[in-house]
Chain A
Amino acid sequence: MALWLRKSLKTINNFKSMMGMINHSSSSPSPSFNQNLRNPPVIFIDSPTYFSSHRYESTRAEKQSDSVYGSHCHAQVMDFPGGKIMFSPVMRFISESTQERVHCYQVLDDNGNPITGSNYVQVSEEVALKMYSNMVTLQIMDTIFYEAQRQGRISFYATTIGEEAINIASAAALTIDDFVFPQYREPGVLLWRGFTLQEFANQCFSNKADYGKGRQMPIHYVSKRHNYFTVASTIATQIPHAVGAAYSMKMDKKGACAVTYFGDGGTSEGDFHAALNFAAVREVPVIFICRNNGWAISTPTSDQFRSDGIVVKGKAYGVRSIRVDGNDALAMYSAVHAARSMAISENKPILIEALTYRVGHHSTSDDSTKYRPIEEIEWFKVVRDPVTRFRKWIENRGWWNGKLESELRNTVKEELLDAIQVAEKVEKPTIAELFTDVYDVSPSNLRDQEKFLRETIKRHPQDYPSDVPL
């Protein structure tokens, strides 16, 4: 021990003097690389790296490889907490970027044909058709609810358009025992688990039948029956929650995992970093699914982070990670399937960065054409639409055709319009629901308040709104 300490102290001193040198030599102003990163917001098309790669010899972008120091290592090895570390005579900083960005796992090309050599988990006809019809349902639901908001029938809505594959394919690869901690752009997971269109409508119209008793704004669904935790408006708080639940599941040994979804913007929150770190340290079965859709409301990823997306952050925390084409339902399905089995069998966290694009506006409070080119939106909507791509695949296999397509769309549309009409007519939550569930058992101050309110309404009924059932 003493020997170890002395050795490492010496090392630290050596290192300090090295650092001194570094400080001196790096004090000259660095060349600016302030490119305009906002436009065009290229997301993941083949493109050169954003960063200038010829600043210093020492910062030259390294190849994507684990052996940063190549053959320079010599025999000196330090036994340091966390494992052995080799010394190197070469002063070389690890580059902030790589020449090549982390590859993106894909199964289907834009025309719905499997790429030669792609390995993926087989999907049965039955599952494939359920996946497809759920994706279509999600699309139609978004369109109709969005319109309902525009007509002033509900106060708020946010669509999932462009991200249907992430929603449905990830849900399909999970089981209902896996606990889902969603952001707000994953209603497809609930849909897959059997939440009905009427149930969606009840929540958006905050009526008496809403499982949240009308307490959360539209799209903040919750269903314990479906192991789908309430949507949090606070960005990224669900990520540590998932880790905590996963810890509990690990102790239960029930063979299930926790799954959490979040956007590219959410990864800037401290919660994301704390959650990944904790998950790695505590070794819990959790899958982190980041929907990197390029935009956090109006903030492009280039203003959000300068790393190669999110996938590279996993390694820094000791979390196994993969980058997936989020608009490829088969790739998404396969990646989540594999992630789930690793998470549960090895008690490990897995990070999935799904590359996609937010085709819709952030929410009904947003007009994204103000900050991004319409051509960009159109390109993703037309060329990279995940629903069309998957449809081509099932059509190629002879599982789907135009007749089935129009039948499906008509049925879903009718069902939805029906659901909205019913939801609108259902009574709103009663006055008692203003006070229940603040605590498990209402304390006296809340009981007093409710009593007082009821008496006051009785005395002055004309001064109180008629739409609150007593």
Chain B
Amino acid sequence: MPLFILLLEDKEKSWSKCNLCKRERRKMWGVIRQKMSTGSSSVLVLGQRIRPAACAFRNYSSPAKEINVREALNSALDEEMSADPTVFLMGEEVGEYQGAYKISKGLLDKYGPERVLDTPITEAGFTGIGVGAAYHGLKPVVEFMTFNFSMQAIDHIINSAAKSNYMSAGQLSVPIVFRGPNGAAAGVGAQHSQCYASWYASCPGLKVVAPYSSEDARGLLKAAIRDPDPVVVLENELLYGESFPVSAEVLDSSFCLPIGKAKIEREGKDVTITAFSKMVGYAIKAAEILAKEGISAEVINLRSIRPLDRATINASVRKTNRLVTVEEGFPQHGVGAEICTSVIEDSFGYLDAPVERIAGADVPMPYAANLERLAVPQIEDIVRAAKRACYRAESVASTA
């Protein structure tokens, strides 16, 4: 019993920071929880005491006009599950534990274990089962604890989900959502820190979205759940706790964003900066710094990686004549490479400077904090690249 409380407190304190040992810890939990569900009545009493404690540590206390990304995702799931009885959530720890990152908080209580499924630890298993359920008319939302673990299930995401509608000539649609944190978190090393945007975005049959703000998170997740095709929703762990102002329209349960449309987060005329997910925030901050130096940067939040909003990107480049792409993923065959190609194809004549590509370092993510910082794009990198594009600093060649 004391051991149990300790575990709980420990978990509450550190769940948002350290997810590396989550797999280890949840194994311990697994044993205790099984005991709770199969054991004697005294154990059940204890079980009932734990649940409120676990729920109480985070309340929806934010004012109506500002919510964090976690609340945005949670409310989007809640509203879509409430609106459509065929929507259900499955994944590791999504039920009793309310999600490794608490995205599914309160949903088990509200919708019951038939619609909020805790699965065994087999990504390939529950992804395949999700696809099968989608074949037969349900709309599964499959949570990966991180998209790094989706690699164990990529066969089902690509070969089963993405291709079935085409292979069956439209007889088998797969309305399924794959969601979870993607990209670099903090201090969790190579197997928790990769961005899979370009991987999934290279596959026809899939749609891929990457929300940045609370508005994005609500609008894109709702769109993904309502979409008849398989959609990959790439969230970011470090954004979950970040708050953003939202309008009443965004908070309305009918709110939804179109998949395939980018958003101009900040208008500008000198240089276009494209980014998605956490990097949008960095790009906006870089634009603020650039503004002080007299450079007006236009920041495009891609929102959708596939389909890619080539029209918005190209219209912006035709206006600013300069382009900097930003992503956390690896540079080779990355999202930036694709954007660069689209601009070369459609707006080559408008470019006044070489396209600058800011990406993660071409190495697996190192753990040590000093090296880790060097491996992901920083605001200064974006500022420098934008200045180079505007010929306001030394060129890459001369600094190299």
**Residues of A participating in the B interface, judged by any CB pair closer than 8 Å:** 1-2, 4-5, 79, 81-83, 179, 181, 210-213, 215-216, 220, 222-224, 229-230, 232, 234, 237, 239-249, 251-252, 258, 270-271, 273-275, 277-278, 281-282, 433, 436-440, 443-445
**Residues of B participating in the A interface, judged by any CB pair closer than 8 Å:** 1-4, 31, 34-35, 38-40, 42-43, 46, 114, 117, 119-120, 122, 124-138, 140, 155-156, 159-160, 164-173, 204-205, 207, 227-229, 260, 307-308, 310-311
Q: In whole angstroms, what is the CA distance A258 to B229 when docked?
A: 23
B128:A251 contact, CB within 8 angstroms: no
B167:A248 contact, CB within 8 angstroms: no
B159:A234 contact, CB within 8 angstroms: yes
B165:A271 contact, CB within 8 angstroms: no
Closest 3 CB pairs of A and B: A244-B132, A274-B125, A240-B128
B166:A251 contact, CB within 8 angstroms: no
Return B362 CB to nearest CB of chain A, in Å.
Answer: 28
B307:A444 contact, CB within 8 angstroms: yes
Return B337 CB to nearest CB of chain A, in Å.
Answer: 16
Q: In whole angstroms, what is the CA distance A433 to B130 when docked?
A: 28
B167:A215 contact, CB within 8 angstroms: yes
B159:A241 contact, CB within 8 angstroms: no
Question: What would be 13 A-B contacts, judged by CB atoms less than 8 Å apart?
Answer: A179-B136, A211-B171, A230-B164, A234-B160, A240-B126, A242-B132, A243-B129, A247-B138, A248-B136, A274-B126, A282-B117, A438-B204, A439-B207
Return B144 CB to nearest CB of chain A, in Å.
Answer: 15
Partner of B133, one of A215, A232, A245: A245
Which chain A residue shows the least CB distance to B152? Answer: A270
Partner of A275, one of B129, B229, B310: B129
Chain B residues, CB < 8 A from A440: 165, 173, 227-229
Q: In whole angstroms, what is the CA distance A219 to B244 when docked?
A: 53
- Interface SS, B side: helix
Partner of B136, one of A213, A240, A244, A277: A244
Return B38 CB to nearest CB of chain A, in Å.
Answer: 6
Return B85 CB to nearest CB of chain A, in Å.
Answer: 9
Q: In whole angstroms, what is the CA distance A237 to B228 when docked?
A: 21
Chain A residues, CB < 8 A from B117: 282
Chain A residues, CB < 8 A from B164: 230
B169:A244 contact, CB within 8 angstroms: no
A270:B122 contact, CB within 8 angstroms: yes
Which chain A residue shows the least CB distance to B175? Answer: A440
B160:A251 contact, CB within 8 angstroms: no
B155:A234 contact, CB within 8 angstroms: yes
Q: In whole angstroms, what is the CA distance A237 to B167 when docked?
A: 15
Chain B residues, CB < 8 A from A437: 165-166, 168-170
Partner of A237, one of B114, B137, B160, B307: B160
Return B112 CB to nearest CB of chain A, in Å.
Answer: 11
B165:A244 contact, CB within 8 angstroms: no
Chain A residues, CB < 8 A from B137: 248, 252
Return B14 CB to nearest CB of chain A, in Å.
Answer: 23
Return A347 CB to nearest CB of chain B, in Å.
Answer: 12
A232:B124 contact, CB within 8 angstroms: no
Return B170 CB to nearest CB of chain A, in Å.
Answer: 4
A438:B260 contact, CB within 8 angstroms: no
Partner of A224, one of B39, B128, B168: B168
Chain B residues, CB < 8 A from A443: 260, 307
Given A230-B172, A234-B155, A248-B133, is A438 in contact with B34 using a C-beta cutoff of 8 Å? no
Which chain B residue shows the least CB distance to A443? Answer: B307
Chain A residues, CB < 8 A from B119: 278
Chain B residues, CB < 8 A from A271: 124-125, 128
Chain A residues, CB < 8 A from B171: 211, 222-224, 230
Which chain A residue shows the least CB distance to B88? Answer: A251
A222:B38 contact, CB within 8 angstroms: no
Which chain B residue shows the least CB distance to A179? Answer: B136
Q: In whole angstroms, what is the CA distance A400 to B127 when docked?
A: 49
Given A237-B156, A244-B129, A444-B307, is A216 in contact with B167 using a C-beta cutoff of 8 Å? yes
B124:A274 contact, CB within 8 angstroms: yes
Q: In whole angstroms, what is the CA distance A419 to B38 when docked?
A: 59
Which chain A residue shows the least CB distance to B166? Answer: A437
Which chain A residue shows the least CB distance to B260? Answer: A443
Chain B residues, CB < 8 A from A433: 169
Given A181-B132, A230-B171, A248-B137, 15 more contacts at CB 8 Å? A1-B1, A4-B35, A81-B31, A222-B167, A222-B168, A232-B160, A237-B159, A243-B129, A244-B129, A244-B131, A244-B136, A244-B140, A247-B138, A270-B125, A443-B307
Given A179-B136, A445-B307, is A244 in contact with B130 using a C-beta cutoff of 8 Å? yes
Chain A residues, CB < 8 A from B166: 215, 437-438
Return A234 CB to nearest CB of chain B, in Å.
Answer: 5
B133:A247 contact, CB within 8 angstroms: yes
Return A262 CB to nearest CB of chain B, in Å.
Answer: 13
Q: In whole angstroms, what is the CA distance A220 to B122 when docked?
A: 28
Given A222-B167, A229-B172, is A240 in contact with B34 using a C-beta cutoff of 8 Å? no
Partner of B128, one of A1, A179, A274, A444: A274
